[in-house]
């Protein structure tokens, strides 16, 4: 296995797919001559040229719409925003066109494209650069929404997203691009809609996705020391949701804690909690709890930022609450 940074795993996935299929191209702010704002696309311009690695103006609505049009006529665009916060300028294009065109055309037009960008909190970037957009996109049929924690999942999920015939929202993280992990040398894909069970246990189900996997891993280690057995699920796919794995775990443990960035109010955790209580009510021994960002815009100051986002101690405390400890 190769030891790759997450940015390298994402680049490998895109490059392999672009070599395989000439209809795929990458377009976004600073993806070409600057090698990507986070160096994810480093070297791709030299290999694939200006017609397939395309720098754009700072006009997210414009180049998102251009990509959607290209997808309608047979291309497979990868659209990179500098951050998902900036995608809100293109929200109309993504929701009213990308998500709805297949249904509104009676299946005449697929929109096979990937929108990708870092999501959620980074360090000291302030409220307008720190939004977790998960719930904004999972709300709409027609979109798939996926994310990853480590390099292996980043590679396998991005390849699946690029090959999918639907528009895929691909959530990345500025804070983890430089993290290294093992990625098999042989090509592989990871199915969209399949969760990853990172630890098996019997006392409580802990559910998360994205970079909160690392806070949950730290919490699981502390809980194990205290004798708590945790069934730890990394969803990876928020829409479609792996309900079979999720419900099977909760039916086994009888307790559930959901951890995610973004706010408590109308967050993805609320949807998961609602679905779990509908499907697993007879097995639940305690209310479902959520650990999320505090209900304030993200502060800039480091000390305040740490108070807002989930952390291992808040996760441990929530698990202890559902266990009545």
Residue 99 contacts residue 90 (beta carbons within 8 Å): no
Report DSSP state, residue 90: G
- Helix, coil or strand: residue 232: strand
Determine the 3-state secondary structure of 258 from DSSP. Answer: strand
Picking from 308, 283, 313, the residue whose alpha carbon sits closest to that of residue 297 is 308
CA atoms within 13 A on the CB side of 122: 19
Other Cβ atoms within 10 Å of 175 Cβ, number: 14
∠ Cα 48 5 162 (to 5°): 45
Q: Does a cis peptide bond (omega within 30 degrees of 0) precede residue 200?
A: no
Picking from 207, 309, 218, the residue whose alpha carbon sits closest to that of residue 259 is 207
Q: Which residue among 8, 17, 129, 261 is the active-site one?
A: 129
The β-bridge relationship of strands 237-239 and 144-147 is: antiparallel
Respond yes or no: is residue 221 known to be catalytic.
no
| Alpha-carbon dihedral angle through residues 211, 213, 214, 220, given to the nearest 10 degrees | 160
Catalytic-labelled residue, pool 8, 17, 29, 60: 60
Closest CA to 184 of 154, 220, 225, 149: 154
* Interacting residues of 190 by C-beta distance below 8 A, sequence separation 6+: 153, 156, 157, 159, 160, 236
Q: Is 129 a catalytic residue?
A: yes
Q: Which residues are catalytic?
A: 60, 129
């Amino acid at each position: 296995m190769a030891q790759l940074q997450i940015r390298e795993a994402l680049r490998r996935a895109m490059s392999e797919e672009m070599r395989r299929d000439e209809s795929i191209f990458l377009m976004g702010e600073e993806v070409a001559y600057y090698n990507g704002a986070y160096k994810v696309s480093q070297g791709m311009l030299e290999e694939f040229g200006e017609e397939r690695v395309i720098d754009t103006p700072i006009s997210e609505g414009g180049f998102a719409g251009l990509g959607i049009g290209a997808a309608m006529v047979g291309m497979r665009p990868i659209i990179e925003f500098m951050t998902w916060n900036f995608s809100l300028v293109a929200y109309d294009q993504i929701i009213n066109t990308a998500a709805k065109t297949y249904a509104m055309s009676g299946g005449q037009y697929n929109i096979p494209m990937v929108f990708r960008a870092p999501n959620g909190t980074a360090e000291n970037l302030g409220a307008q650069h720190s939004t977790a957009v998960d719930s904004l996109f999972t709300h709409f049929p027609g979109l798939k929404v996926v994310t990853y924690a480590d390099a292996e999942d980043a590679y396998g999920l991005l390849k699946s997203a690029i090959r999918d015939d639907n528009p895929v929202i691909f959530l990345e993280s500025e804070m983890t691009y430089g993290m290294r992990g093992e990625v098999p040398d042989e090509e592989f894909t990871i199915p969209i809609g399949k969760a990853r069970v990172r630890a098996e246990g019997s006392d409580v189900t802990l559910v998360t996705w994205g970079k909160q996997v690392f806070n949950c891993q730290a919490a699981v280690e502390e809980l194990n020391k205290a004798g708590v057995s945790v069934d730890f699920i990394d969803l990876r796919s928020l829409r479609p949701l792996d309900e079979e794995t999720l419900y099977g775990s909760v039916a086994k443990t009888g307790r559930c804690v959901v951890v995610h960035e973004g706010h408590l109010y109308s967050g993805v955790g609320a949807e998961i909690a609602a679905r779990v209580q509908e499907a697993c009510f007879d097995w639940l021994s305690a209310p479902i709890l959520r650990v999320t960002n505090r209900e304030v815009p993200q502060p800039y100051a480091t000390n305040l930022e740490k108070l807002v986002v989930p952390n291992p101690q808040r996760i441990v405390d929530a698990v202890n609450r559902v266990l009545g400890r």
